[in-house]
Amino acid sequence: MAPLRIALFVLACWPVAGLSQAPLTLQEAESLAVGNDPQVRRLQAEALALDERAVAAGALPDPRLKAGLVNLPWRQMALGREPMTQTVLGVTQRIPARGVRGHRAAALRYQAQAARARAEDRALRVLRDLRQAWLELYYLVEAAKLIEESERVFDQWVKVTQYRYRAGRGTQHAVVRARLEQALLRDRREAVIQRQETWLARIDHMLKTEGEARTPQLEMPDLPVPLDRAAIAERLPEHPRLRARRLALAAARQRVGVAKAGKRPDWGVTVSYGLRAGERADFLSATVDLSLPLFPGRRQDRLVAARGHEVNAAKDAVDDTLHALRAELDEAYARWARLDRRLDFYARTVLPEASRNSETTRRAYQSRVSPFDELARARLAELEARLTTLRLRVDRAKAYYALRYLSAEDLQ
């Protein structure tokens, strides 16, 4: 799969014509899911907007042009009658207090980086959820095949029990039991197919593709052994979910700087030119004004305190996210290890024993040593062992993808 950082910024575009019959691979589905996810696109757009706002925040405010008449006689309304009458043109430039522009721009840059980190986390979660849904659909398809295989076996046994009953070598109970198990298996397969449709709809919703849906190419991926718990734990501080929290904390600290800079005066510089009529001398004026934060306890100090509380809240969010990631790691790794042990036990012990039990019971039934009930129970036990083995394989793979999300390997 292409690196996730590329997939985050390049929307996948798959032509519909000529590909409607081609099976959809998991790698293609991953690119589609990330590229078409509206939350990923929203966070990317938000980051770009914050970058632009950071540039604007670091610049001086636009100068203001002023024009007017000064000392115009009220009664005569004549520009040249009084020597003090002027036509004034001027420019005013506001200069924010020292540090305001830098802190504001830095806060917005941190916010932009936090939005990109959230986009990365969202993309990782989309990949995890899609892969787990893909595996669940794979399980349901394979489970339907196993059930159908047992259903065909009971179809044959219905015929065998009917033949034996008519020949006087079997019982009606065996015929009824065979038909009952056949009907129950058929209903069970229909229930599994119904769940397949549900998961297909979920996957289509994740992909958000238009036009004719392509059939998923379902197969069990050949997954490596995940990183050990210590290695993943070392990576958690750089996980995009936690990185987004730390960047939000950095932005909050910059806003504290903006609030503290508000205790300093901001400045205004005005330069104007007064034009007088006739041969009278024109006037050039320059003025400087500044704000007077005389009562900081009612405004500036309150803002600084408010921003300080925001910093404390952001710190708590960082700690809470780190604890949550560690808890998820403990749970996912324990689940993977437990499922791995159970799968090994089933593959080495339960499944071979269930197969041997089914075969020996079949031979005993053919030799009229064992009743049909024993044969049916043995076959159903083998089916359950095979379904459980399949379930363990799928659940272990889902646990692997949960660990892969926590290790953020797709970002490398």
pLDDT digits (tens, 9 = 90+) for 112-143: 999 999 999 999 999 999 999 999 999 999 99
Q: By the 8 A CB rule, do 117 and 247 touch? A: yes
Residue 238's pLDDT band, with cuts at 50, 70 and 90, is very high
Give the SS3 label for residue 341.
helix
pLDDT digits (tens, 9 = 90+) for 297-334: 677 878 888 888 989 999 999 999 999 999 999 999 99
Question: Does 211 have pLDDT greater than 70?
Answer: no
* Residues 6 or more apart in contact with residue 305 via CB below 8 angstroms: none
Residue 412's pLDDT band, with cuts at 50, 70 and 90, is low
Q: Exposed/middle/buried for 344, CB within 10 Å: 0-12, 13-18, 19+?
A: exposed
Question: Does 293 have pLDDT greater than 70?
Answer: yes
Half-sphere exposure of 332 (CA within 13 A, CB side): 24
Least confident of 25-29, 44-48, 241-245: 25-29
Q: Exposed/middle/buried for 340, CB within 10 Å: 0-12, 13-18, 19+?
A: middle
Q: Exposed/middle/buried for 186, CB within 10 Å: 0-12, 13-18, 19+?
A: middle
Question: Does 21 have pLDDT greater than 80?
Answer: no
Cα 83 versus chain centre, distance: 73
Residue 315, phi then psi, degrees to nearest 5 = -65, -45
Q: Which residue has the tokens 């936090």?
A: 114
Residue 75's pLDDT band, with cuts at 50, 70 and 90, is low
- Total length of the chain: 412
State the angle between helix axes of 372-407 and 351-366 in degrees (0 to 180), rounded to the nearest 10: 160
Structure tokens belonging to residue 330: 């403990």
The full set of domains in the chain, from first to last, is 4-411 (1.20.1600.10)
Q: Quote the CA–CA distance of 39 and 122 in Å, as a whole number.
A: 7
Structure tokens belonging to residue 69: 């008449």
Q: Quote the CA–CA distance of 202 and 30 in Å, as a whole number.
A: 14
Residue 294's pLDDT band, with cuts at 50, 70 and 90, is confident
Least confident of 94-103, 117-126, 390-399: 94-103
Residue 170's pLDDT band, with cuts at 50, 70 and 90, is confident
Structure tokens belonging to residue 289: 């004004």
User: What letter would DSSP give residue 359?
Assistant: H
Question: Does 18 have pLDDT greater than 60?
Answer: no
Q: Quote the CA–CA distance of 386 and 352 in Å, as a whole number.
A: 10
Q: Exposed/middle/buried for 6, CB within 10 Å: 0-12, 13-18, 19+?
A: exposed
Selection from 47, 101, 111 nearest residue 249 by Cα: 111
User: What letter would DSSP give residue 10?
Assistant: S
Q: Which residue has the tokens 């034009």?
A: 275
User: What letter would DSSP give residue 349?
Assistant: I
Q: Which residue has the tokens 């932009």?
A: 112
Residue 46's pLDDT band, with cuts at 50, 70 and 90, is very high
pTM (global) more than 0.95:
no
